[in-house]
Every structure is written in structure tokens, then in C-alpha cells.
Structure 1
Amino acid sequence: MRDDTQTATTHPTAGPSRRGVVTGGALAAAGLLALGTPAAAALAPTAPAPPAGPAPAPAGAAARRSLAQFTAVAASEADAVAVPAGFRADVLAPWGGPVHTTGPDWRADASATAADQASQVGSHHHGVQFLPLDDGPEGEPRGLLVISHESTDPALLGGDARKAMAAQGLTVLEMREVKGVWEVVDSAYNRRITADSPVRFSGPVPAPGPAAGRARGVLAPSGQGLTPWGTCLVAEENADAVFGTDDPEWRRGETHVRYGLSADGHGHPWHRADERFDLASAKASPEQFGWIVELDPRDPSAPPVKRTALGRFAHGGATVTEAAGRLVVYSTDAEDGEYLYKYVSAGDWRELRAKGRSPLDHGTLYVARFGADGGGDWLPLSHGHGPLTRDKGWRDQADVLLRTRLAADALGATPLARPERVAVNPRDGRAYLALANSPGGPTCTGGKEPTATEGVCRTTDPYGRIIRWREHPAGRRTRQPAFHWEEFLAADDPDRPVDGVFAAPKGLWFSADGTLWISTGVSGRDLGGPAPLHRAAGNNALLAADPTTGEVRRFLTAPRGAEVTGVTTTPDARTLFVNIQHPGERTTRWGTPDANTPHKVSNWPDHHRSGRPRSATVAVRREEGRGEGA
């Protein structure tokens, strides 16, 4: 499917803003470039190792066509995907499409059963990765698309909790490019992973809960990362939403409260369909969710593996990089007032794998503490360190990782204003963090008085911002902080030209040329206003930012009610895959869909009179013969 394009005139560039963030200058070398493995700088103080410089982009990638000359699209409230003139956006893998040609087709009336849904593409597309395969017999480029399905909308999904369980999880699809158009191929690689799929636990925490030997399910997966050995790391985020109970005698404990578990299940009563999700049941197993999950898309027989050394919390993503041969994984706890984390492997990841040991099982997890002077430190979440001792109630390392949030509290980590995705610049190794927004109050400040670190956690921050930091070389430890941070962009910067207006930055991703792609996720409550910035930003969008100048330009706008989530590209840099999540969900601006009017807010992408909106991936590329001068 091809969408109409929009264009917008580029406004004059601006000088430095009042926050010292430069927003002017040309957007240099913004491009659809190849995925490289960026390198981080130094490791944490307790795991010293020499820093590594940024890894080079794959050979030839920088010579690919650039987006530098694209004309920014205008802010939009249209029920469509808009991209710049000279580009096209083709819809791929929409919710409900069959995973195999023999599987059940999409039913626009939502009459598909839970069994049907388990063989169809899931809903609420979030993280995405593209893994290349050898070219096909006709020389067509091929690859595997791995899509995370974070949640469901009962009003649009139809059916019961079992169908919702089948709609979450992961989809793996083989893709083929034919004459410039990507299409799904019926393949042995194609599969669905749902809330009922077998999983395996690895690392310091054995499979927890009463069903330890029969662990099942990947829940609420959001952002993804790619390991150097070609597997995907998938972040389980808001798994607490599907737990609940009808037992009036059940009471919340400290860990329940800290992990957001409550009797009402946040409106998703899965506990009535499966005892695993009934908090009052002896079979309840909330500890089996909230992990980083490793998936090998090239091995359809391999179950997902929950890597427990990376901690249990509402992971917003899993950004993989390297430092002096060690594997580094950045992640966030993606709720207001939560923390930034970093995992570092115990040694060179190649050496560990050569010995048959996973670099994701042997290493140290750290949590960040930001200083008021722009410095910061990584605090090790290690049993026996500081307050994490037996006499303080911490049994062992497994206990620390099962209760990561409470352990980070005990260490004095810095609460953040809804930390979401991390991205590492492949050019200079600096890391960037999206702080989506915060209503303010004690959630953001951890119940303490506001401090000079308000740049990372403001008492009120309705629109969000992006910060960045540079790790210091390990050899310079002594009394120096482990990293220095600064604000990069603030959504409410009054000096930003209209072409770059945005709110609620959530997704961050770097292309190999060093362009920072920003995905926004303004909630349905705020889309279209009434706040002036929300009104000016329009629908959620994908923007390209220059890390050197701070210039931001809008590249893509989403349909009504949708967020823009995962972003990745093909190795030849000619196609950008972008996930469009939950078009048509409830909004203040356009109303609430129901069984009789499922398309009240959006009817994208099919626009059938009797249809309903569907999350999907779009493949964006230049149209042949257009934009060649860029």
C-alpha cells in the first residue's frame, strides 16, 4: 500500500536556545544508513577496562543515498502516514495478517478466535529488527523481520483474555524485496511467540514461581537490541498490567507495590482466564516477567531465553554496544520516577562465548546516580555491596535481581522523568536517553525534596526532553565521576523551528551515519491539545536530529491515535522500517472506539467502511527516479 506524501517548507535556522542547546544549522548527513555496532566508552568503576572508540560503520554504508535534502513534513492530524516528497511508505505485517499462507486470514469484524490470533501477526507493534539472509535464487534481498507486540486494546481486539494473550509477544517473518517492494514470504522461519509459548531462564535467577519447570510467555515486549552474534534482545515492559485478583482477602506486599501489581489488573483481567495471573493463587508467577529476553530468529526451534543477570523491572529497551571487547547493554525502567541501568559482561564477549558461557549471564548490572554538577556514577547492583547484604534483608544475588527496583532504591539511584529508550552514537560513543515526560510530584523525586538534578527529573515536565552523557576512560577513575551528562534537546524549547516541534520523545535510534531518529509517543489524552505544544505537534511523529547542531526535522507523521515506536534499516540503507503502534485508540480529541464504531478514531491502514485500525510496520524508501540529488 502506498501513502500520499506531504511536504513542508523548512523554516530559517535558529541560534542557540536559552538552555544552551543549538537548534540551528543544516541537518548534516541525515541518512538511511546501515546498522553498525556502536562502541561505548568506559566501563563502570568496579569493572575497569580501557575505553573503546566508536565502531566503524559497515563498509560502503556511508556512501549510500542520504536523507540530507528531505523536506520536512508538516505536523498533521490526518488519519494517514505522511513521508516527504520523493519517498514512499508501504504497509507490511499488519495486525491479524497470517504468519503462514495456510493460516487464518484477517477478519475485519474481529471474529478471529484466540487460536486464530496465535497464528496471525500480533497487535501493538513496538520494537523491530531486520536480520539479513542470503539473497534469494533470483538475487532478491531477503531478511527476517522481528516485531514486538506490546499490548492489546480490548475495544478493537474483540474476544476474551485468551485472545489478548495470543496477540502479545513476538512475530518473526521472512521478507523479500522484489522490484523495490518488500513482501512477506511463507517460510520455515515464520513464527509467533505468545503469552503461552515455552521459555527458558538463564543466569543467576532460576525460573521463579510455582511453575518454574513449565515457564511460559513473553509479555509486553517493547524495545529491541541486536547482539554481536546475531540474536535479538527483547525488553519486557508493562507485564504488571495483566495481573489481578477477585479475592477480597488478598493484600499487597512491599514488592507488589513497588512493581505496580494490584487487584484490578489495570483493566486487563487475565486472572479470570489463567491462574498464572491471579495474584491470590498459589500458581501466580509475576516474577517470571519483566526481564530481557534473548531470541534467535534464525533458529525456529529455539525457545526465548530470559537473561536474568540484566535485572527485573519494566524494561523500556535493550541497547547493545561494546567497550574494550566487553558487552554493554543499556536499559531503562520505563515508568515515571524510575532509573537508568547498564549491564557489563564479566570479560571479552568473544572469549566468554568461546568457553561456552553467555556474556549475558556473566556480568554486573549497574544503576545510574546523576550528580547536580553534571557528573554521574554507576552503582553496582551486587550482593554484598553497600546496603545489599544479608543483614539488610538481601539473601543473595538472585534476590537482588528479582527485586531490582528495591535494590536500586537502597543504593540511592536517581529517579528520572519517565526514562524510555537509550541510543549510542556510532560516531563518538556518546549515549542518549529519552525522558518522555512527567506530571511531577513525589513520583519523579522519589518522595524526596527536588534537587539540582532537576535537569533529569523535573518536578513538572509535561513535554519531555533528551539528555546525553559521555563515559570516562576507566584508567581515570580515582575521584572522577564515571560519566558526565548534559541536556541535548528539550521539547518545550521556544527557539525550535516549527519543522522540529515535538513532544513526548520515547524512541531513540541512531543510523550508522550518526543521525538520531526520535519517535514520539504523546498519549491519547494529550494528542491534538489542549496544551499549545501538543496542539502544534499534531499526531505522533518520527524526527531526524543532528547531534552536532541540534537541528530537528520531522520525517514521518503517524495516523490518529498511533505512536511511532520501533525503527531500523536494511544493511544497504535503502529501506527504513518504522512501526506504527495502536492507531485508533481512545483519544480526547477524537473520542473512544467501541464494538459498534471501532474506526471512530482511525481506520488506518485499510480504510474499509466496516473495518478497524491495525498496528503495522511501514517500509519507507525513496521512490525510483525521485530525490536522486540528495
Structure 2
Amino acid sequence: MTRVNVDVDPDDIPVNPSRNRHFQDVLSRRSLLKAGTVVGAAGFLGGTAMSGGAAVAAAGKPLLGFKAVPTSSADAVVVPDGYSSQVLIPWGTPIHSGGPAFKKDGSNTAAEQAQQIGAHHDGMHLFPISDKHGLLALNHEYIDTTLHYADGSAVMTREKVDKALAGHGVSIVKVRDRRGTWIVEDSKYNRRVHGATPVAFSGPVKADHPELRSNNAPLGTLNNCSSGATPWGTYVTCEENWNGYFGTDDPTWAATAEQKRYGVAAAGFGYGWHKADPRFDLVKNPKELNRFGWCVEIDPFDPKSTPVKRTALGRIKHEGATFAEASDGRVVVYTGDDQDGEYIYKYVSAERWKNSAKKGRSPLDDGTLYVAKFNDDGSGSWIPLVFGQGALTAAGGWKDQADVLIRTRTAADAQGATRLDRPEWIAVHPETGEVYATLTNGVGNGGKVNPRKPNPYGHIIRWNESGHDNGALTFTWDVFLLAGDPAYDPAAAALGADDIFGSPDGLGFDGDGRLWIETDISNTSQNLASKGYDHIGNCALLASDPATREIKRFLTIPRGAEVTGVTFTPDFKAMFVNIQHPGEASTAWGAPTPADPRAVSNWPDFDPDGRPRSATVVITKNDGGKIGT
């Protein structure tokens, strides 16, 4: 989640003006709970039981074999007894051994930042070469204007814009376990893709489309939040809050209906890039913003390849791209649109992805994008966002399929999709194919899929696609769990000392079927009794057994930070976890300044002259076993 002002979280502000159902018949909180579990699934699913993790649990061994760590407000990473953690590639680490070193006063130049690990680590994936080494691809969502520059967010200059652009995007580095310590190795594959990297467009929306004709060549990827890995071995990075980088000082500018639908405003998120670079000025270069909001495919094993924006997946605030395979071999991609009141989408390729690959065509260029509708009876359907179908006709004001994809949010509005409480990461169970999605928090969009109003703690939903086929167009769903603190909300009564948490965000499975849950408690709420978050403490990583709904807290992190990407080695004996924005301005802890960048956190360096840095942490079990056992 992008934050600039500690008093405002833009993802929490709805911009959806549609009249799509809020379902005002809000489900009773207490009726969701019985014997410590969320109930009502049998009624929701018409008697179809969810079975996530059943095969693993049936083996007789608890899926969660570690002792839960307690909640924490410490400026530290805490892991369970019997586990160890190691900091790897903090912001500013050179991607080659001869590259520029990180300057702890924030004075690295834009050119130097382009040769270093970017800021604000987020989604990532390890492309293994063996159990002990591989290519680690990771996203860099945004930058903290106070910490990124030596003088903080003082007068904006072109150099500052360029350094910020270089801090965004993706890093790809070769990592290796050398006698128990993970290191970065020099490699031809080590590279940076950032906000000024040349990019290409593919699919129904071409780079020369009138709505994408800018004053400059297609450049860059921004606000890279979550990500995905394709079955054919490429990395997909997702552009989330891209709207916040654009602005203007021209008082005559007024947002169009489509710009309002995406939260575009004259002030943006306060970055002020438009003051120094006309590329980001809404009046001087009005079409540039339409080049963002896409999923971007990168080949980590071809350092000379050009990143490609795959437009068939739609233009929204993509929180991720979770890949699955339909029963007939077509590729399926799930993605959430991370803003309160937005939707969940699914893309299904037109043909088997292996056939496309043989023909030299991308499976991500020719397929159908759908949006989800969740019914109160536990059924659901995928509604196609296809020109000529439903409301998406010429008579309805639509030009063609490219128009539908550029205006994806408005198309989903028109087709009657279900508004959700901030839909974020999506995960698919490796055995059952069940799909899980985090709804981080929100005003409470109503209905049984959003059972609380308001919903400050968030919840996780799951669904079974019909016939256990991820390519199906109907499904059955239930509420997997409700987050929260039972001291403030009876609906969270199933949670206790080992598993109390709030604001689920990241989500992912390991090979044994453990569901890993990352939290992103806003810094306007973290540790505050007034927001019902004082008992929950800092953000955390938890593990869950989908069959039993047992949850245990596995890891807690430093002040002001959130847990973001998680990935594993093939043997699941090393876990990589990203810690994003430690030390960011926080209502509970204060705000950093150029004079005191360590006001909230000094992790991970704890250097008296340094500053907090986002970083990847590698978790291993001291006995060499699998993570989570």
C-alpha cells in the first residue's frame, strides 16, 4: 500500500460511484461464529464442503508444528524458537559487487540508485536453479520522500524525480546459500527494471493507441505491489497506486469521470514529480497516466529482454497476478483491485498456454477478462468484460475491446460486479485448487461476503470453482476467517493470544498446503487503542491450516513496517520474506525527519548515523527442516 501522508491511506478512500450492490442486509457478527470457527458455509455452499489442506492434515501430523510467537511492538524481527533470520538485500545494496555502495545519509544519486536494490520491497518470487541458489525477483512499490533524499521532501528537482523512479520497479539478483548464509552473487542476470526503463505494450491495447499517445516513448513501471510467476518461467509485476504520481499546478485542470474513477487528483499523493518533470503533469502530458495500471511481464533469464505490459489483463490497481491452470490447460490469472469498494478479476487464456508457447505467442495476449459476482446464497459467477456483451456495447458508450480494458473499473461497474472491502492478494491451494483472497479492511461494503460494517480488521474469503476447475465460470464461496481483536469486536472471538491479527494483506501457500498470511496494519492504526489495534501490536506473518482453520503467528516485524512478499526454496527449507517501509511515519511512534530519520525505527542496520531500510529476510529452521514444521 502506498502512503505519503500519515493521516491518509489512499487505498481506504473509495472512488467507486457505481450503484452495484452493497447488500444492506448485513450478516450478524455473532452468527458467523460457532465453536471457534466461521460457520454458515454449508448454507452458503449449498452443502458443498470446503476441504483445503485435508490431504495434509489427514496424515496425522499437525500442519503447524512451531510454537507461536507473541505479539510485539519491538523494533525487531522475531521468529519462533528453533528458527533463525538473516537480513538480505536491504534498500541500496549494489546489485553487482563493484556497484555503488549505499550512503547512509540518503545522498546516493539517481544514477547510483539505478544500480542498487530499490526501495520498499513487496511481492517477489524465487526462480530456483537448485535448492541452494536461484534468481530472486522482487518488487519495489514506492519511496518514502523523507528517507529517500538527504534533505527529505524539500524542493522537488529533476534529479529527485529520477532517483525516485530508479527506486521503483523490480530487482533481479542471483542469490545463493553459501554454508548457511545467503549472499548475492555477481551474475549476468542481475538487473534493475524501474520507472525509466523502456517498456512495450502487447494485447488489445497497443502502445500507439490514442489514449496512450504521450510526449515520450513508453517508459517504466511504477508502484509495483504484488506479483506472480508464470508456468513458463517469467515474472509478472503489478502496478497498483500509479495514480498518485501524477498531478498539476494548472488551476484550469479538472478530472474527467474516468480519472476520478481511478483516484487521479491535481495534488496526487504529494510527490510533486510534475513540478520537475512534465511527463507527470496532467495538463502537459495527459495520456501518460494511461500507460500505467497494468501487469508487466519480465523474463528474469533474459537480461536484454524488454518488459511487456500485458493489456488483456485489464487496467486497474493490480494487487497481484496469481497463476493457475484450467482443467483443459488454459492459463488462469487472478487479481484483486486494491481499493475499498473494488473488485476481484480473473483472466482465462483463449487456448492452452503450452500451445501458445509453441506458436511463439503469449497466452496473456489472447483471452477473456472476467469480474466476480458474489451472491448471498454462497454462489458466485464470473462476468465477462468483453465488448459487445452485456452493457459493454456501442449503444452503451463503448468503442471496442481496447476501450473496455483501458476503462476496466467502469466496465466492471457496468456489468454489476460485487464491491468488496479492499480486495488484495489471492492464493490457490496447491492440492485442492481452492482460491483464497484477502479483504484487508474497509467501510463495510455489505452483504454476506463483506459481513461487517465498518470492517477495520478485514477478513479472508475462499471459493471453489465449479468442478474444481479454475477455468470455470461459476463457484461457491464462504468466509474463511474474520480478523480482529475480540476485546473490541465479538466477531473475532475465535482468535486468541497465538493468532490475533488484523488487516490481512499478502497471501500464499507452501507446498504442504500451509496458508501464509501477511498483515498490513495502517500506520494510522498500528498499536493504537483508539483504533482497536493496541493488543495486536506490529504487523506479522501467520500460518494457517485451511482444513482446521488453526492459525499461529510465525513472525513479527519492526515498527512502522508491513510484511509483503513471501517465497521459498524448492525444498521449502528457506523462506524469503519482505519487510516494507520500517520507520515510516506512524501515529503511535512519531515521524522521521531529515534530521532524525530514525525516529520510528532503525532496523535493520541500527546504525546511529543511518536510516531504516526495507529488506528481504531469509528464515531457516535450525535443524534444517521445512519451514512451518
**Aligning the two structures, in what range does the TM-score lie when normalised by the shorter sequence?**
0.7 to 0.9
> Corresponding residue for 2:306?
303
- One-letter code of the match for 2:32? R
SS of match in other structure, 2:395: helix
1:236 lines up with 2:228 in the alignment: no
Alignment: residue pair count: 566
1:461 lines up with 2:455 in the alignment: yes
SS of match in other structure, 2:184: strand
SS of match in other structure, 2:332: strand
- Cα drift, residue 457 of structure 1: 6.4
> Corresponding residue for 2:498?
499
**CA distance in structure 2 between the aligned counterparts of 1:113 and 1:626, rounded to whole angstroms:** 42
Q: Deviations over 1:37-68 (max 9, x none)?
A: xxxxxxxxxxxxxxxx999x9xxxx99x9973
SS of match in other structure, 2:533: helix
SS of match in other structure, 1:364: strand
Matches for 1:511-590 after TM superposition, within 5 Å? 511-531=510-530, 533-590=532-589
Change (3 A) 1:604 1:398: same
> Corresponding residue for 1:322?
325
**CA distance in structure 2 between the aligned counterparts of 1:282 and 1:520, rounded to whole angstroms:** 37
Matches for 1:13-24 after TM superposition, within 5 Å? 18-20=31-33, 23=36
> Corresponding residue for 2:104?
108
What TM-score comes out, normalization by structure 1 length?
0.86
**CA distance in structure 2 between the aligned counterparts of 1:116 and 1:278, rounded to whole angstroms:** 26
**CA distance in structure 1 between the aligned counterparts of 2:239 and 2:432, rounded to whole angstroms:** 29
Change (3 A) 1:17 1:569: farther
SS of match in other structure, 2:146: helix
Q: Deviations over 1:371-404 (max 9, x none)?
A: 1111111100000001101111110000000000
Answer yes or no: is the 8 Å Cα contact 2:169–2:224 preserved in 1. Answer: yes
> Corresponding residue for 1:482?
474
**Which residue among 73, 79, 86 is the counterpart of 2:75?**
79
1:404 lines up with 2:417 in the alignment: no
1:148 lines up with 2:139 in the alignment: yes
1:126 lines up with 2:122 in the alignment: yes
- Cα drift, residue 612 of structure 1: 0.5
Q: Deviations over 1:128-173 (max 9, x none)?
A: 10001258xxxxx220110100001101111622211110111000
- Cα drift, residue 191 of structure 1: 0.8
> Corresponding residue for 1:334?
338
1:415 lines up with 2:424 in the alignment: no
**CA distance in structure 2 between the aligned counterparts of 1:296 and 1:571, rounded to whole angstroms:** 20
- Cα drift, residue 473 of structure 1: 2.6
Change (3 A) 1:593 1:312: same
**Which residue among 65, 68, 75 is the counterpart of 2:64?**
68
SS of match in other structure, 1:536: coil
**CA distance in structure 2 between the aligned counterparts of 1:386 and 1:439, rounded to whole angstroms:** 29
Answer yes or no: is the 8 Å Cα contact 1:529–1:535 preserved in 2. Answer: yes
Answer yes or no: is the 8 Å Cα contact 1:369–1:376 preserved in 2. Answer: yes
- One-letter code of the match for 2:477? W
> Corresponding residue for 2:18?
none
Answer yes or no: is the 8 Å Cα contact 1:340–1:368 preserved in 2. Answer: yes
**Which residue among 385, 389, 404 is the counterpart of 2:393?**
389
> Corresponding residue for 2:171?
171
SS of match in other structure, 2:302: coil
**CA distance in structure 1 between the aligned counterparts of 2:106 and 2:236, rounded to whole angstroms:** 31
- One-letter code of the match for 2:596? T
> Corresponding residue for 1:251?
254
**CA distance in structure 2 between the aligned counterparts of 1:627 and 1:230, rounded to whole angstroms:** 24
Answer yes or no: is the 8 Å Cα contact 1:503–1:533 preserved in 2. Answer: no
Change (3 A) 1:345 1:530: same
Change (3 A) 1:149 1:414: same
**CA distance in structure 2 between the aligned counterparts of 1:629 and 1:345, rounded to whole angstroms:** 35
Q: Deviations over 1:286-340 (max 9, x none)?
A: 1110001111101100111100000000000000001121100000111000000
- One-letter code of the match for 2:242? A
SS of match in other structure, 1:455: coil
1:276 lines up with 2:279 in the alignment: yes
**CA distance in structure 1 between the aligned counterparts of 2:33 and 2:285, rounded to whole angstroms:** 55
Answer yes or no: is the 8 Å Cα contact 1:339–1:416 preserved in 2. Answer: yes
Matches for 1:436-455 after TM superposition, within 5 Å? 436-440=440-444, 444=445, 450=446, 453-455=447-449
The CA RMSD over aligned residues, in Å, is 2.7
**CA distance in structure 1 between the aligned counterparts of 2:434 and 2:567, rounded to whole angstroms:** 19
Change (3 A) 1:107 1:358: same
- One-letter code of the match for 1:357? R
Answer yes or no: is the 8 Å Cα contact 1:130–1:568 preserved in 2. Answer: yes
**CA distance in structure 2 between the aligned counterparts of 1:66 and 1:332, rounded to whole angstroms:** 31
Answer yes or no: is the 8 Å Cα contact 2:605–2:612 preserved in 1. Answer: yes
> Corresponding residue for 1:612?
611
- Cα drift, residue 69 of structure 1: 2.2
> Corresponding residue for 1:221?
224
1:94 lines up with 2:90 in the alignment: yes
**CA distance in structure 1 between the aligned counterparts of 2:342 and 2:624, rounded to whole angstroms:** 48
**Which residue among 458, 461, 465 is the counterpart of 1:471?**
465
- Identity between Structure 1 and Structure 2 (%): 49
Q: Give the stretch that moved more between structures: 466-475 or 279-288.
A: 466-475
Change (3 A) 1:158 1:17: same
Change (3 A) 1:260 1:531: same
- One-letter code of the match for 1:201? F
**CA distance in structure 1 between the aligned counterparts of 2:457 and 2:593, rounded to whole angstroms:** 29
Q: Deviations over 1:237-290 (max 9, x none)?
A: 010110000111111101110011110011111112322211001464111100
- One-letter code of the match for 1:372? D
Q: Give the stretch that moved more between structures: 548-557 or 282-291.
A: 282-291
Q: Deviations over 1:8-52 (max 9, x none)?
A: xxxxxxxx985247658xxxxxxxxxxxxxxxxxxxxxxxxxxxx
Answer yes or no: is the 8 Å Cα contact 1:276–1:284 preserved in 2. Answer: no
SS of match in other structure, 1:94: coil
**CA distance in structure 2 between the aligned counterparts of 1:282 and 1:116, rounded to whole angstroms:** 28
Answer yes or no: is the 8 Å Cα contact 1:504–1:521 preserved in 2. Answer: yes
Answer yes or no: is the 8 Å Cα contact 1:456–1:467 preserved in 2. Answer: no
**CA distance in structure 1 between the aligned counterparts of 2:223 and 2:272, rounded to whole angstroms:** 15
SS of match in other structure, 1:434: strand
Change (3 A) 1:544 1:391: same
- Cα drift, residue 459 of structure 1: 3.4
- One-letter code of the match for 2:100? P
Answer yes or no: is the 8 Å Cα contact 2:80–2:555 preserved in 1. Answer: yes
**CA distance in structure 1 between the aligned counterparts of 2:106 and 2:81, rounded to whole angstroms:** 35
Answer yes or no: is the 8 Å Cα contact 1:468–1:485 preserved in 2. Answer: yes
- One-letter code of the match for 1:512? G
- One-letter code of the match for 1:19? L
- One-letter code of the match for 2:511? A
Answer yes or no: is the 8 Å Cα contact 2:315–2:406 preserved in 1. Answer: yes
**CA distance in structure 1 between the aligned counterparts of 2:62 and 2:163, rounded to whole angstroms:** 43
> Corresponding residue for 2:6?
none
1:262 lines up with 2:265 in the alignment: yes
Answer yes or no: is the 8 Å Cα contact 1:21–1:488 preserved in 2. Answer: no
**CA distance in structure 1 between the aligned counterparts of 2:190 and 2:52, rounded to whole angstroms:** 34
Q: Deviations over 1:416-446 (max 9, x none)?
A: 0011111111121110110000134xxx4xx
Answer yes or no: is the 8 Å Cα contact 2:74–2:559 preserved in 1. Answer: yes
Unaligned stretches of 5+ residues in structure 1: 1-15, 25-52, 136-140, 445-449
- One-letter code of the match for 1:464? G
SS of match in other structure, 1:367: strand
**CA distance in structure 2 between the aligned counterparts of 1:354 and 1:17, rounded to whole angstroms:** 54
Answer yes or no: is the 8 Å Cα contact 2:620–2:627 preserved in 1. Answer: no
